[in-house]
Amino acid sequence: MMAARANPSLLDRLPAPRGTLEAAGSMADFIWFRTGGPAEALFRPADRDDLVTFLAGCPADVPVLPVGVGSNLLVRDGGIDGVVVRLSKGFADVKIEGPTRVRAGAAAMGITVASAARDAGIAGLEFLRGIPGTVGGAVRMNAGAYGRECADILVECTVVHRDGRVETLPASALGYTYRHSELPDGAIVVEALFEGRPGDPAAIGAEMDRIAAEREASQPLRSRTGGSTFKNPDGHKAWQLIDHAGCRGLTIGGAQMSEKHCNFMLNTGGASSAELEQLGEEVRRRVKADSGVELQWEIQRIGNPQTGGRA
């Protein structure tokens, strides 16, 4: 069902899907920071065929951006041009294949995949319990935690290209490095196949419980945050550099570096995306001045600044 057309000039150019297509679709409703402007068009495909048909018929000059649950994303206040694709529950199936493999839809959450692996006695995927995003986002950014990353377990992923072509890529084609992949521009991950090793469900569950307890003790999980703000530079921990530069608890407007884990940035209640980004850049400046290390953003920042808004 299509919502009221805030920008009919774009929606009139787009194919009519079986899923939902909404003009000026709110991103702040589901992005973890709860900030940012709307998507010019927000598309939730009914299934893979719906996504394929839509992309094949979408004009080539219209930008298309896939977004999961927004756990590692900052949407700028001016919103996002073009179409944002948010995969629905139809892309969240998780299935066991053989003794050590798990196939997961791109919209499945990391904890769901880890739990399915545990129940099937498949070890090696426990770290996904500590990743709050979706499979699609984990594959794209080589997400990792607790000493492991997606590159360690991915066998292959299936993507839908910008022109509607469906392709299955081996992990070796993704060019994985730390928190980075070389997935083709415009490709949307729809499924991934992971491989672990035989394990004892009780031991796997105990490791998942340990990860959950460690996250609860060290991270501000109940706050409006975006996870780790900056990547760990070679030979350093980002949080230690931030702490040494005096940025623990640093605040700009409604944005704050967490007192609990100072590589986590918080929306304390009324922050704009501009304030969050400004805070991050100020932290980068202070760390560079203090240690000479130039921090790189891990949070993905997308969209347009708000013209005439807060700086």
Low-confidence ranges of the chain (pLDDT < 50): 1-6, 309-311
Alpha-carbon span 174 to 187, nearest angstrom? 12
Q: Which of 83, 68, 104, 108 is nearest to 20 (CA)?
A: 83
Burial (CB < 10 A; 0-12, 13-18, 19+), residue 170, is exposed
pTM of the predicted model as reported, rounded to 2 decimal places: 0.90
Q: What is the pLDDT of residue 227?
A: 85
Domains of the chain are 8-89 (3.30.43.10), 91-203 (3.30.465.10), 222-302 (3.90.78.10)
Q: What is the pLDDT of residue 306?
A: 84
**The dihedral of CA 295, 296, 298, 304: what is its sign?**
positive
Which of 179, 215, 285, 301 is catalytic? The answer is 179
Q: What is the pLDDT of residue 185?
A: 83
Residue 10: how many other CB atoms lie within 10 Å: 17
Q: What is the pLDDT of residue 287?
A: 98
Which of 181, 228, 258, 272 is catalytic? The answer is 228
Active site annotation includes 298: yes
Residues 6 or more apart in contact with residue 213 via CB below 8 angstroms: none
Are residues 242 and 262 in contact, defined by beta-carbon separation less than 8 angstroms? yes
Q: What is the pLDDT of residue 309?
A: 43
Active site annotation includes 179: yes
